[in-house]
Amino acid sequence: MPTKKSVFNPALEPLTQPLPEAIAAPVGRMIARHSYMEWLLGQVMYSLLEISIKQGRAVVQRPQPRQYVASIQGLCAFQKIDCKFDFDELTQRVEAADRIRDALVHSVYMRDVNVRGDRIHLVHGSWARPAHIDVIKTGEWPETPVLDRAWLGESRKVVEDAVKRAEALLVTIDTLLRQLHELRRSNRKFDRRQR
């Protein structure tokens, strides 16, 4: 999301009616795809921890992307798995997707009363502001993007890129774990029960 400031527009008022279908559908799809990405990341974690999905969902919460990657790398080292995966790219894409999802679910959808049609703005609605964002000066509010086709398309691409990286990580870890389990089964040196 842009970090530049825009002058507060007094003509913006909260949208009290349901979102127009042209906006609600892509917003809903992005939120659903982000949830799927989180599910994928959870599967990777549960597989490396060698616990069931039910156990994982009960006790493991997804940490922030950088802590998540550190955990996955630590679990791979513990399992003695040499995982050649671009974790920096995964971190960047998941962080970007998280920002989009957070903006969509924690913002106020507003309309400009001076403009005809369905021009909807996304205004930061959370009272808790991240520490790295400057205090708003008088007459300025955070950037209020218009939820038009271009912004929605760009945001959808960000979320889809993160989903693709999470899917690739799941396939990579699944393949490596299958190889490890086969090695444990077929080579006594790797069988943990023999020690």
Q: Tokens 């009290």, residue?
A: 16
Check if the beta carbon of residue 19 is closer than 8 Å to that of residue 120: yes
Check if the beta carbon of residue 90 is closer than 8 Å to that of residue 165: yes
Read out DSSP for 31-91? HHHHHHHHHHHHHHHHHHHT--HHHHHHH-----HHHHHHHHHHHHHHTT------HHHHH
Say which residue, 188 or 24, is predicted with more confidence: 24
- pLDDT tens-place string over residues 68-116: 999 999 999 998 899 999 999 999 999 999 999 998 998 888 887 777 7
Does residue 5 have a pLDDT over 90? no
Q: 82 Cβ partners below 8 Å, 6+ apart? A: 76, 176
Position 135 scores a pLDDT of 42
- pLDDT tens-place string over residues 58-78: 888 888 999 999 999 999 999
Dist CA 53 CA 167 (whole Å): 17
Which amino acid is located at 149 in the chain?
R
Residue 142 belongs to what H/E stretch?
strand 140-142
Position 195 scores a pLDDT of 53
Does residue 151 have a pLDDT over 50? yes
47-to-20, 81, 120, 133, 172 alpha-carbon distances in Å: 41, 13, 42, 37, 12
- pLDDT tens-place string over residues 117-132: 778 888 876 555 554 4
Which amino acid is located at 157 in the chain?
K
- pLDDT tens-place string over residues 15-71: 888 888 999 999 999 999 999 999 999 999 999 999 988 898 888 888 899 999 999
Residue 112 belongs to what H/E stretch?
strand 107-112
